[in-house]
Amino acid sequence: MQTQKNEFILQAWYEKNGLIKYTAHRDVINVFYISLIRAKLPLCYTEGFNRIPRLSFSPALSLGISSKCEFVNIYLNKRVEADGELLKRFNDAFPPGIIFNRLEYVETDINKTVEKIKAFEYRCEIEADCSLMEEIGEEIKQKIAAIGSAEKVMVNYNDRVRDIRPYIDGCEFFSASGRAGFTVKTLLIAGSSIKPQLVMNYIMEKYKEKAMYCVSIQKEKIIYKSQ
């Protein structure tokens, strides 16, 4: 847990809940810088003119997605007990919606943690007018079922058509209490994955322009290669 440079790597696991999910990842990084200073941690800083706290983040979470399982490696120049008191210090120092639930010291950089990840599981829910849900429910179900057997799933992304099928490890429809949606597992291949919104856009393609609906996407868990 202590690196050769006399640094301690504290891995902090957190949830990103509520409206703060609409804060982009690059802004979240800045939120971490100032919040960790507020938490009065013995931070290590980067070298150079614009010195900033040394942090390494888990793969970026897309804008508008909440998560139960984000993590960040924080480099400290002094060991601080990773106990409940420190966890409280973290939660008091961060804006509402970023909630820490686990702190632990690790010995290796963040890439070693990321290398162990096979996929992310998301829960994607559609909130719409009841009549719309009735109209589209069955169609969504069929479209989701078809993804499993499809060779390609072509979507528009950044003005180009892209096949996202290689990244989809499974997609299942659910419907409960008048809500409908799907869970999708997106594979992490060579350090990159796809935004779950792309799957949502593919499924809702027909309704995107003509219906008023909301989506709620949450990263539920990380699936490791060893699982």
Partner 1 sequence: MKNTGGIIINKFEYILQNVSKPQQYIGCEYGLKRMETDAPENKNAVKVLLSFPDTYEIGMSNFAVKILFEIMESIDGVICDRAFLPEDDCAALMKKIDYPLHSLNYRIPAAEFDAIGVTLEYELNYSNVLHLLDLAGIALESKDRKETDPVVIAGGSACVNPEPMADFIDVFFIGDGEEAAAEICAVLKESKKSGLSRGERIKALSRLRGAYVPAYYEPVYGEPGVQAGIKKIQDGAPERIKVRTIKDLDSAFHPVKLIVPNFETVFNRGVVEIARGCKNACRFCQAGFIYRPYRERSVENIKSIIKKIFLNTGYTEFTLSSLSATDHGGLKEIINYTLGLNEAGEEFRGALFSVSLPSQRISTFSVELAGQLSKNKKSGLTFAPEAGSQRMRDVINKNVSEQDLYTTAEAAVASGYRLIKLYFMIGLPFETDEDLLEMARIISRVAAIAREKKTRGFSMNVTFSTFVPKPHTPFQWARQASREEVVRKQELIREQLKKYREICLKFTRYSVTELESAFARGSRKLCGALLDAYKDGCRFDAWDDRLKLENWRSAFEKNGMKLADYATREIKPGDYLPWSLVDTGIDAGFLEEEFESAEKERATPACDPGRCKRCGIC
Return residues touching partner 1 (CB under 8 A). 18-20, 22-24, 27-28, 30-31, 34-38, 40, 42-43, 45, 49, 51, 63-64, 77, 93-97, 127-131, 133, 178-179, 212-216
Nearer to partner 1, 105 or 213 (CB): 213
Shortest separation between residue 111's beta carbon and partner 1, angstroms: 25
Q: Cα(first)–Cα(last) distance of the chain, in Å? A: 25
Nearer to partner 1, 28 or 103 (CB): 28
How do beta strands 160-163 and 168-176 pair? unpaired
Strand partners, 148: none
Residue 97, amino acid: G
Can you point out the beta strands (E) in 24-159? Answer: 55-57, 65-76, 98-106, 117-128, 154-157
Shortest separation between residue 59's beta carbon and partner 1, angstroms: 20
Shortest separation between residue 110's beta carbon and partner 1, angstroms: 21
Q: Are 198 and 155 in contact (CB under 8 A)?
A: yes
Q: What angle do CA 211, 130, 64 make, to 5 degrees?
A: 55
Nearer to partner 1, 53 or 173 (CB): 53
Nearer to partner 1, 44 or 119 (CB): 44
Shortest separation between residue 143's beta carbon and partner 1, angstroms: 20
